Every structure is written in C-alpha cells, then in structure tokens.
Chains A and B, each alone.
Chain A
C-alpha cells in the first residue's frame, strides 16, 4: 500500500543522503521525495511517498526515526491530509488542436506558463488522481516534456471521522 511520510530533518549537509541511503541500503522503495526548508531555522521537511506491507512501512518509519538527524516522522496515510503535487507539462498544440488543449487546461484549472508555435507548457497542481487524469487526457496530443515535484503533504487541522 502507498504511504505518505512527512519527515522533519535537521537541515545539514548529508542529511538527504542519510535518508536516501537508508532506503537503498535496506531495499526499501522511494516513489517520490520532496525536500524544502521550513520556517524554523535549521530544519527541513521531506515528504516521502513509498509503498510496502505494513511491517515494511513500520520498519521504514522506525529506521528513519533512528537516524540522528531526523527529528520527527509522521505517517500521513491514516490521517486526513492534504496532498498536492505540481507538474509542468509541455504538450503538442499545433494550430488546429490548440483550442482543445486550452479547453482541457481550463477545465483542470491549469496555468499556461509558456507558449510557442507548436506547443504549450501547462502548470498544474493537484493530488495524484488529478495529475493522472490530465496526463491521460493530454497524451493523445503528444507530451514533449514532463517534470513533476513529487508529493508535498500536510495533516489536516480537523481530523473528522
């Protein structure tokens, strides 16, 4: 099962390779990994999506907590949380198809961030389902380039059953 882990780490050189090395060295899988500094000095937040059986996920979270540079690990999977990912898609949009691409972009509330005679570059944010949906819709026009950030996630303030 897919899990989203929110990992607070000391912001110091080598911390990323400690985390990544833990996954590769123990044969765990990373699907996406996103890192950025927090508002608190010296701390960074990583969002890691991974998958595996419960026992593996338990090992991953425990092993992460054991790293001296890891301050906190939260598995967001069983909590209500907000998940977003940003993607840049450069899609074929020659004259006769341009309007159709723009219509799809509009439906998905994408932003057009670059344009040329032959293509459009769209910026889209959303959860994994939304990203999957627009990618599958745009594929028939031909996607030239594709760049994604990986998931960032946060626990919702209200945990309503």
Chain B
C-alpha cells in the first residue's frame, strides 16, 4: 500500500515508540496534521510558541530518558525552535525536531516562509537532514532517532519539504542501521581502567566530580556504589544533580561559581579528581590554572572532544559512563590487597566534613520580605525530593540547585550550558506529560517566567497541572547581583518596573493564582497550590536584593569565594 510522506513520517514515529509530540502547525506541515488523527497513539500537544514546543520536548526527554519530539512548520516556525535546539545541544539532550520546508522546486527562491533551517541549525545540532526524496524518509527518521539517543545524545533536525510530505511511496521501516562514519565507543579501554584503579588505590584525597553524562547514561547506581564503597566524597555540576543522593553524608553539593564551600575547597585540595560525564565548563572550573591544582585527573566521557578540551587529563577514558564505572567496579573486585577505604580516606573525609560544618549554605531568615532560599527549602520539605523540579535561569536556578536536595536522576531539569531563560515552564509541561501523576514544579524568576508565559494556555487546555513558583524580586536578579558586586550598583535595565499581576495573569488563562508576602504563609499557600487539580502560579514576593552565595567571581580560582 502506498502512503504519503506525511503518513510515512507518522508511521516512523510509531515505530520509534513516540507517544507525545509537541508542535505547532503551519502551511508546510499541514499534511502531517491532516493525517495525525489517523494515529491516535501519537498525542499531539499544541503549544503557543515553537520555543515552547522544543523546550517541552526537551523536558520530556530529560525526565524520561527517551527521545523528545517537536514538530513545527517552515520559516518562522523553524527559527523559533533554534534557542531550544541550542539548549538541548549544550546539555546533550536527545530531541528530534521535525520542521516543514517549502516544496523542493521552490527551495532557494526566497519562497513564502522559506528559511535554510538546515544551515541555520547546523552549529547547534548533533546532525541534521533535508529530505529530498520521499524514498529516503524512513531511513532518515530511523537514523535521526538513533543519532539523537546514542553516544553523546543531542538534537537532530529533519527538514521536510511539502512536496516530499505529499509524494507517495511504500512504507518500509529499515530494521537496522549501519553508518560507516558513526560508531561511538562505549566500552572502556581495559588498560585505562586498570590505571584508574591503581590511582584509586594510591589516592588519599579522592574526589568525584560528576556531570550530566552520568544521568544520560543511567550511571547513577554505579556512581553511588563506587563512592559509597570507596568512601569518596562527591560533588557535581548543575547538570549532574540527582545522580548521587542529596542526603548522603558523602554529598558535598554542587561545585563551581555558586558551588558550596566544601565542594570547591575539596577540588582545591584533592589528589585524584575523578570526572565522570562532565566537561569542565568555565562556570565549574573558574580559573583553569588553579583548578584542582594538586590532582591527577581521570576523565570519563563518551565524547572524545570533551577530553583535554579545557584541562589536561592524566587518564582519559572514552566510554559510556555506566560501562566505564562498571569496568572500574569489576576491576576493583578482582584486585588483591585493596586498602581499607574508610581508614585510608578518613583524614580527608574529616577535613571535608570540617569545611561542610564551618561553611554550610546559609541565609538570614526574615519574615517579610520573604527570603527566596526559604521558599526553596519549603518546597523541598513539602515534596521530600519526590517532585520533578524545573527551573528558569538566574538566581532562581541557583537557589533551586543549592537549597533543594535531589535524590534521584531526572528530577532536576534545568538549562545548564546555554542558560536559557524561559526554559523551565515549557520543560515542566513536557515532564508532566510524561509523568501525569507526579508533582512538577517550575521554580521561576519574575523575569524569565515572562519569556514563555504564553504556555500557560497549553497547560490549561490539556489540564497539565504544572505548578510555577515565582521568586518575585522585581529584578533580573542575577544580572543585578553582578551589577551590585562588579559594576558599582549601576542597576541599568535590570529592574522589572512593570511586572504583570501574576495572580490575575494565571486567572486570565484559567489557572489558579496565589500570592504570598509573609514567610509564615509560604507553607500553607504552597500546599494549597500543590493541591489544586490544574496548573497554578504562586507569586512569592521576595527580598529584592538578595544575592546568591557563595560566589566565585568569573575568572577567579574556585577557592577564592565570596561567602555570605
């Protein structure tokens, strides 16, 4: 039986096990939408802006570990996804983006709603395709999903001209994939693994620095085993939060610019840094030359380009994090005369414990105005780490990372690499679609929530009960903090003079709205908001000039921290 390109695409999505598509129709993809009702297993969520669609697909992917799918039309529909594509690319999130394109005879003619999205997106996708013949469609979709989820995951874009969607062919889904140019290395090199175990055996002050790669390779369990068995303290990047239980005594909290004192000091004094699925981002390392100055560095990463990009590495292991950690475990299990780890690392653990005791994360409580950190603490208390937390970007994001604890992978979704304001809310929608029964909370700022607030219509229309907690300080808080500390308090263009009434805004969309101004009411109102059946906004009026501490000024050494 012959099918149109549009039907072939939808058949492919079924074969890939896709359940949810986030999208926005338009002339170039109207054929896909025309056939969509024939495929009731594919649930389509109509967003209000294409950026919402790609972030929702990304949030879905981060929460589930599966490939998120986003479907938009050509031209502006396609370009509106670019920020979200770059977001997914920087954080290595598997997303397949289907864009419509003008009919092939019109390509290059500046046709209506034509844009070279393959060219535009090239620097921020793992790979992309322009399908020119309907006969190529099935294998391209198969490859796109395969590329998105394997190796170092990432976004893959497929551009579909309208005439290809209308052309007919016999649908046949290829069973296997062979690509001579793409064979990610997943198994660790045995000799390198042996070197690591040798270093572990000799080290007296080891430290694990884990990143998003541990989460994307589902290596949380292996990491936890290694650290608990060998008594190694753990710190992680923003992207790595949740891979190691946040209530474990070995957990030091996040490192880097707004990392904990203990984590950053530990980096400064460790003799063996075990970097797993992390890429030594500048927000993590601070001044490179004083990063882990006395350590030998082991770097495990599936992407060879991550290794030695920023720091010198003594033992590189190009492999899937999970397989590499398993390899280390197996090697340790056959290793004779291992030290008594507790004893060997005791002085180090005591030192680290002292740093934790002397300089914990803290803030000064006040009843009114409310302190934002207090709100995050309350959210954690009420949810006990069971909720999926997304964030926007800025102070809200850092407080969410600092003052919550994450016990499980895929429960903290945030734009790490690109720092995309407006990410949290649509991502929360994506996560909630995947887990309708979980509590999903977007911790937001008053600035960034306004970047994709239109998705409230999406949340309301599908009854996606996402809760938004706005830490409303009336500022673009993180930039204001930099202006205060490094630019002589010149608060140029960071004051949000005319914020909307967020309660009324929620109500205008048909969601529930709440406002809190006193600390004593925070718990009650949060409970109330979490209990309403649909989406809700809680507008928490917080201290306008509260800062995120500790802070390592950009370009300074990690041990050079501004404390509270």
Contacts and interface: CB of A to CB of B under 8 A. Distances in A.
Given A21-B122, A55-B308, A68 B303 contact: no
Contacts of A21: 122-123
A17 interface: yes
Interface string A42-70: 00000000000001001100110111111
B34 interface: no
Given A14-B118, A17-B122, A18-B122, A71 B180 contact: yes
A25 interface: yes
B305 A25 contact: no
Interface in B83-139: 118-119, 122-123, 126-127, 130
B304 interface: yes
A71 B181 contact: yes
A18 B126 CA distance: 11
B122 A59 contact: no
A65 B127 CA distance: 13
B127 A66 contact: no
Nearest to B122: A21
A62 B309 CA distance: 10
B180 to A, nearest CB: 6
Nearest to B118: A14
Contact of A68 (B119, B127, B130, B305): B127
A79 B176 CA distance: 37
A63 B305 contact: yes
A85 interface: no
A127 interface: no
A68 B126 contact: yes
Determine the main DSSP class of A at the interface with B: helix
B181 A69 contact: yes
A49 B189 CA distance: 31
A58 B305 CA distance: 9
Contacts of B303: 66
A126 B127 CA distance: 38
Contact of B309 (A59, A67, A68): A59
Nearest to A24: B123
Which of B119, B126, B147, B180 is packed against the most chain A CB atoms within 10 Å? B180
A29 B304 CA distance: 21
A10 interface: yes
Nearest to A71: B181
B377 to A, nearest CB: 41
Given A10-B181, A21-B123, A62 B118 contact: no
A70 B182 CA distance: 8
B119 to A, nearest CB: 7
A43 to B, nearest CB: 9
A62 B181 contact: no
A68 B182 contact: yes
Nearest to B181: A71
B492 interface: no
Contacts of B126: 68
B334 interface: no
B181 A68 contact: yes
Interface in A9-42: 10, 13-14, 17-18, 21, 25
A63 B181 CA distance: 13
Contacts of B305: 59, 62-63, 66
Given A66-B303, A68-B147, 14 more contacts: A10-B181, A14-B118, A14-B119, A14-B122, A14-B130, A17-B119, A17-B122, A21-B122, A21-B123, A59-B308, A59-B309, A66-B304, A68-B126, A71-B180
7 contacts: A17-B119, A59-B308, A59-B309, A62-B304, A63-B305, A68-B179, A70-B181
Interface of A: 10, 13-14, 17-18, 21, 25, 55, 58-59, 62-63, 65-71
